[in-house]
Structure 1
Amino acid sequence: MSVIFDALRRWPDVEAPDLVAVDAADRLILDESAELRAAALPGDIVVINDAYGALTLGAAHAGASGIRTHIDAITGERALESNASRVGLTGRFRPLPLDAGLVSGARIALLRLPRSLDALRDIVGLIAAHADPSVVVVAGGRLKHMSVSMNTVLSENFGQLDISHARQKSRVLIARAPRDGRDPTPAAAQVAGLEVRAYGGAFAGARVDIGTRLLLENLPAAPVGGTPSDPLVDLACGTGIIGAWMATRHPDAHVHACDQSAIAVASARATMVANRIEDRVTVVRDDMLGARPSSSASLITLNPPFHSAAAVTDLIAPRMFADVARVLRPGGQLWCVWNSGLRYRPLLERAIGPTEQVARNAKFTVTVSTRR
């Protein structure tokens, strides 16, 4: 197994010496599930919230086939495909969305615990609703990201919960006897004059974070673009608040919203439907702006993330700024909000062009950068 793990990479996600593709929690989940997996038939195993393929490929390397797997981040999904090719395990799994088809009839679920309790509630409710009644969920994580509340959430949908000993600062929860399952439904709220929808784990949930609020308060009253061939672009759209805001305030505008997270994309699509603007807003799951042609946008908005999975990193924003520079037309603008302590202005100047401060409060800065 170590040979497999040594070959795994995070690419195309950010890579650095302190950012790993497999950790002790992945190893513990596989060790605690080994006996169960030894008796599994093809199609019995589902893997949810795998980071870069360690759980899926670890199970495949041990002999499992017909594995169904879901990774929220498109970069993680692509890393799994790349890693599978690298270690010769392609064709042993199928990436699927987080819905009934993923877990239907499953007898073993390997779960990397999400940090959000709402996301965990959505996942275990789905498993309890559609997996085989004999299903066993082997859910693990790093102790620093786990809480007793996770036990409570699992117990809402499973009648038996066992807890492993800690090992290398990781632990596994083993759940049996599913009950009271349900399909995920998004939270709903009125936010900034919009109907917002958010599935568990979406950034900020069904509310507006203070950085996004500051950006909304300062976006241009008459933005350039908004045609089908030159849509207003919302990068890292989350629940879709910025894209929906632009579409509702500019009734003729077309908007392109994108995010790498499947949860975010599902939330944003639900937000657009709730506001009856889905005919003018395209929401896609994408690695940054990979689906957009070069020089195809006059205005892009961005509230850049600074987490890669559970890791805090400053490597994401520079990659996003570079892709924004590729997609902006000459003279096009990036309207960006960022935590003032991150001091992104020099990066924006170098990557895109002249950058002006538009607004600032105690924590966040809004800038507009014009493509050279």
Structure 2
Amino acid sequence: MIISFSDNIDNIKNSIYFDKNYNKIFAEYDESNFVVIKLIKNNKISFLPLLLHKIEDYYEAYSSYGYGGIVGDIDYLSEKDFEEIIEFCKSNKIIDIFIRNAPFLNNYKIIPDKFNFFNRITYTKVLNKYASFSDLKKDLNQKIRWSINYAIRNSLDVKIKKYDEINDYDLENFYNLYNKVMSFRQTSDYYYFSKYFFEKTFKTLKEKCDLFYIEKSNKFIAASLFMLDDDYVHYHFSALDRDYSKYQPMELLMSKAIYEYGNLGYKYLHLGGGLSLDASDGLSRFKRKLSDFESKFYISKIICDKDKYNYFRDHYDIRNNLFLIKDAKY
């Protein structure tokens, strides 16, 4: 197998999560560098996009926020193949690799089982074209239909903006609402994205990124940022003001997205996963009601330099044996 660094992922139809511009957004946010490892086996080519974060004179490699993994023509790599990848990484001072495989591609199957860990279920909605929004409602879960009708009776309406229509007012409202949700969930500092971060996301991804939102009393009460591939729409960032949840705004917003993107010819809406492995949390239940099928999300952990890996874990007093040193240290 031939292994090398590449400037980009070339000549492969792939998800936006593998796009150079998408990865550079998170490279800047993480103060990391975007790289692509190119793999050639039996005249088949695949790519592994990663971010490299420096720890002293060494690096950790990991998938950007969202999903990643190996994409291309290679459908399986053996443990022997991965020994070559590990040696390549070690020679380039990469001590470990953390991969968030894309469940909608099932690309965890390319990686030997010994490196994979089941993380959670994700949910997908099949999209179709409808003559009217009323026709779509007939095909939705009864509870979702009730929620939609209740939201409409309370005068809620979904607004949709493309990247070049989004103004500072929209950014400020989305930023405030999203971080309010992160505060309620008591997430780690990493997920408190700045207003600049969201602005950069829209400006960088351009036509591949839309904002759906609902206002009440001149404030955002629900909003979602969707990303677009050729066939897939991805439910990327989303936020709901719990003070207004009784009006069922998110059910209306998601149903409008299903309707709009289906009529534009997209085939699937990947909703992502919930908050827990057992899928018992409210977010999992909400996505399950909307979805048509489920996929398994696997993460992969590959240690390339065991001596350095163990040294840094001891040096920084890190006890978690699965996730990145970067995740624990910063």
Q: TM-score range by the shorter chain?
A: under 0.3
Higher helix share: 2
Of structures 1 and 2, the one scoring higher in RCO (CA 8 A, sep 6+) is 2
Q: Please, what TM-score do these two structures have when normalized by structure 1?
A: 0.23
Higher strand share: 2
Q: Please, what TM-score do these two structures have when normalized by structure 2?
A: 0.25
